[in-house]
Structures are given as structure tokens and as C-alpha cells.
Amino acid sequence: MTEKPLVIVTRRLPELVEARMMELFNTRLSIDDSPLDKQKLIEAVKVADILVPTVTDKIDSDIINKASDKLKLIANFGNGIDHIDVDTALKKKIIVTNTPGVLTEDTADMVMSLLLAVPRKIIEGEKLIRSGLWKGWSPTHMMGRRIWGKRLGIIGMGSIGQALARRAKGFGLNIHYHNRNRLPDIIEDSLDATYWEDLDQMLPKMDILSINCPSTPETFHLLSRDRLSSLQPHAYVINTSRGKVIDEEALADMLSQSKIAGAGLDVFEREPSVSKVLLGAPNTVLLPHMGSATVEARIEMGEKVIINIQTLLNGHRPPDRILND
């Protein structure tokens, strides 16, 4: 019998996915679901044929350069690959794959959830009920902001940005977007979307801003202190992309000083650490990176990981391999 490849999985995955991986490969599963530290990651790449990391694993050049020649594939469980030094991996002829396409609808749903929760003070209202301090209805109590008719600026009009635009259009929002490339007319027209080539011109005109671009060196602090300062005081910021796209310290300062109206954040610059200023900021909904946290999405992510591994073992190029730009 041909020896099965050693597949090391760094975190707990859905039971269905783990069971299938155990059937197909010589799989070493995570026992306690704790993120691996650097030394344990180095130990893993020295013996594994295939590594299955997640966003919590920083696979830098130092780790990759210590990998044995056995390591042929880093099959990331997730879409974003900013935690992996892809260039170094490819130089060592290690293929890197991700799980695109299966997170789109769930992440767009999460953006809409935050987009509704923050302006309408839903979390504050729920906490008030549980506190037992609610004194009854009042004409001026818990007044939020209407979203119908407001301008939504989407930064990053890929699949998630477009899925968000489709939902937001149904809620009566006017869709605006900034993207590296303008969308084809047929897509732009279907979304009634207005394109802004210049981000700095778009920002002051928006009522709600949603960050949906990937984390790259070019998008680090794309929303800098200066750009955040250009937003209107009634504007809201939603981020389900990556924390590093926003200058988190500047955002926290502006929220605490009421220079912008509120924020809904599912990602943070130094996860899992969150700024104390941000934790105390008013009208802010903070979530623990759960944009893709649906049963369906996580199982489909696992299925994509398995397909990428199996395709490589069958002597073919994995469908979701990452290539150099």
C-alpha cells in the first residue's frame, strides 16, 4: 500500500472535514485548537508533506526556509493569505492554495448585519433590556440613523463587495465604490453603482463606508488618520476585511471624540488584542472575526482544502493555487 502523505492541520476544523481528511491522508489534527507558536510551526514544516494553516498562523520566510524538501503544499484554510510569505514559498517550489468563493455571501451578510446594527443602536438596545434598566418607550430615546437613501461607499469591489452592493441596493442605499479597476458597465449598471477613481474624493461624500479590499502592502493603513479625518461626523465605518487596512489607533481616537458617528468591526489590527480605547468607544459594535463563521462556509472551506490536496497528489495543479503577481 502506498504510504499516505503527512498532512498537519494547525487548528480544529469541522468534524466532517476532519473525518474526511483522516480517511484520505495521514492526518495530524489539532487537539486543543490553540494557535501554534513559531517553534511548533517550524517543527511542523520540517516533517509535513502538506501544511493546513489558518489566519492565526504567521508563516513567515524564516519558517518556510526551515521547511524540509518534503513540504510541497501549504493548503490554507481561508481566503486571505496575507499571513503567509507566498514569495518565499514559491521560491522553494512550495505551492500555496486558499479557499476562494465560499465566503462571499456569508461575509456580505455580516457587513449588512453591522451596517444595520451600528446606526440603529441595536446592540445598545439589547444590552439595555438585559440590564433591567429600561423605563419604557420615549419619543427621543435610543434614536439612531436611517440607512434608506444614504450613500454607501465600498472600498474593494470584488465578489464580496458586489454581494454587499446587491444587498444594500435592496435596502435603498445608493452604491458608490472605489476599486483598482472599474467594473464592466453591465455589472455597474445592474448595481446602480457610481465609480470613484480617486478614493480621497469619495470619502467625504459617504454616509457609510465598508472596507472589503484584501490586506496587501499597498492597502496597509489605506484608511489613514488623514483619510479618516475627511469623513463626515455622521459617517459610519464597517470593516470585515483585515484590521491592518485601517489605522486602528486613529479610528479609536475619532470614535472616542465623536468625530465620526460609529463603527462596526469584525477584524482588528493586532488580533486577538483590541485597543482599550476602541473597547470603550461609543456606538461601536465589535465582533471576534466571525464574518465567515457559518457551518456551511466552514465545511465548504474544508472541502476546498481537500480538493487542493487531492489534486496535487493526483499529479495536477491545485485549482486554488496562488501565483505571483
Residues 6+ apart with CB under 8 A from 124: 142, 283
Annotated catalytic residue: which of 120, 271, 303, 321?
271
Side-by-side strand order, sheet with 6-9: 26-28, 6-9, 50-52, 73-75, 95-97
Buried b / exposed e over 202-215, threshold 16 CB at 10 Å, is bbeebbbbbbbbbb
Q: CA-to-CA distance for 241 and 214, rounded, in angstroms?
A: 6
Task: Please report the beta strands in 44-107, taking only residues with DSSP state E, as ranges in sequence order.
Answer: 50-52, 73-75, 95-97
Among candidate residues 242, 248, 269, 300, the one labeled active-site is 242
Cα separation of 60 and 64, whole Å? 6
Q: Give me 236's grid cell.
A: 459610519
| Residue 135: how many other CB atoms lie within 10 Å | 7
Asked whether the predicted pLDDT for residue 324 surpasses 80, the reply is: no
- Give the active site residue among 120, 145, 289, 321: 289
3 a catalytic residue? no
pLDDT tens for 1-49 read 368 999 999 999 999 999 999 999 999 999 889 999 999 999 999 999 9
Whole-angstrom distance, CA of residue 89 vs CA of residue 126: 47
For residue range 150-202, list pLDDT tens digits in order. 999 999 999 999 999 999 999 999 999 999 999 999 999 999 999 999 999 99
**Is 141 annotated in the active site?**
no
| Assigned CATH class of 104-286 | alpha beta
- Residue 176 appears among annotated catalytic residues: no
* Domain ranges, ordered by start, for the chain: 6-102+295-313, 104-286
> What confidence tens digit (pLDDT) does each residue in 36-80 have?
999 999 999 999 999 999 999 999 999 999 999 999 999 999 998
pTM of the model: 0.91
Mean pLDDT for the chain overall: 95
Pick the CATH number of 6-102+295-313 from 3.90.1300.10, 3.40.50.720, 3.40.50.300, 3.40.50.150: 3.40.50.720
> What is the H or E stretch that residue 151 is in?
strand 151-155
CB neighbourhood size of 221 (10 A): 16
